[in-house]
Amino acid sequence: MSVGGLNIEKTYLITGAAGFIGYFLAKSLLEGGRRVIGVDNINDYYEVGLKYARLKNLEIFDNFIFIKGDISDKTTVMQVFQKYKPAVVVNLAAQAGVRYSIENPDAYIQSNIIGFYNILEASRYYPVEHLVYASSSSVYGANKKVPFEETDFVDHPVSLYAATKKSNELVAHTYSHLFNIPATGLRFFTVYGPMGRPDMAYFSFTNQYFKGEPIRIFNNGDFENDLYSDFTYIDDVIKGILKLLDKPPAKAGTAAAHKIFNIGNNNPVKLMDFIFTLENALSNALGKKVEFEKIFEPFKPGDVPVTYASIDLLHQEIGFKPGTPIKEGMQRFADWYVRHYRAK
């Protein structure tokens, strides 16, 4: 039996289920009647209370099972696969953040390298119909050709985080080739929205405003050559993933059953324009003028000047293009933030 193209009798395993994308994906699957097993270690990289708030919204569903565990623990991963025999696995558990990878590289090796290897090993011994995993736009490094296409050369990452994500793509391809695991990698471009990650710029800028603190902008105050980013609203990301879940790649001759897709908005926004949009959204949510106090600083190591997604391949595959305007998406975030934190 299927609903909306997805089989409701299958078991879907989502790692990082208490995370931003993992939560919204699990919620969409559960609302469609699917059985979801969620795994998350609830680490304290950012506000743990937000992770528990997301989980609370999932635990109302009878067909949701949550397991507190770390994918870097191979025994835990193998036991989950053995017990629940997931048909579709979505690996979203990872240590995120470009700048934090410079401060704490161990966390990235444990989660992004060892953890993902454990997921691949489990998918090998307990075969799955489709393994979907999170990569990142960070793999494009400082590529100057835009928009970024999946066929671009990406062998020069400029952060450890990006290097771990490129590694994921390579190892997934190898496992797909050797053990015929249908796998899809998703290069996400700055996902944002309500209940998002507090370490992301839009969220941290908002937090700083309500604390009465200035925001730090790492563009040298150069408005002419400002940073550009492709912001992707969370609802668009979830729609894209859902459409891909039941489209596992097929092995074609000697080619592995492995594909990679960009999931971006295909409409990059200047950093300063993004900040003005956020100020306006908060002004609307609060009913008063909001203007951040700004401090301009040099670029940080690992920062990428431009992220800009080509989404032609995604559209060819599933007939879908993300398209929520930054003004609309940021207003939804601002409205949620003011309600959730009772900000004034």
Query: Which residues are catalytic, by number?
Result: 161
- 174 strand-pairing partners: none
Using CA atoms of 106, 108, 109, 112 in order, give the dihedral in degrees to the nearest 10. Answer: 160
Cα–Cα distance measured from residue 218 to residue 234, given in angstroms and rounded to the nearest whole number? 25
Distances (CA, A) of 127 to 86, 96, 112: 9, 27, 21
CB contact at 8 A, 80 and 69? yes
Pairing of strands 183-188, 258-263: parallel
Cα–Cα distance measured from residue 75 to residue 54, given in angstroms and rounded to the nearest whole number? 26
Cα 51 to its chain centre, rounded Å, is 15
Give the residue among 136, 129, 83, 128 at the shortest CA–CA distance from 112. Answer: 136
- 262 strand-pairing partners: 187
CB contact at 8 A, 150 and 105? no
Q: What's at 310, amino acid-wise?
A: S
Cα–Cα distance measured from residue 260 to residue 165, given in angstroms and rounded to the nearest whole number? 12
Q: What's at 104, amino acid-wise?
A: N
Strands (E), the chain: 2-3, 6-7, 11-15, 35-40, 64-68, 88-91, 130-136, 183-188, 191-192, 215-217, 228-229, 232-233, 258-263, 269-270, 294-296
Query: DSSP letters along 171-194, please?
Result: HHHHHHHHH---EEEEEE--EE-T
CB contact at 8 A, 150 and 188? no
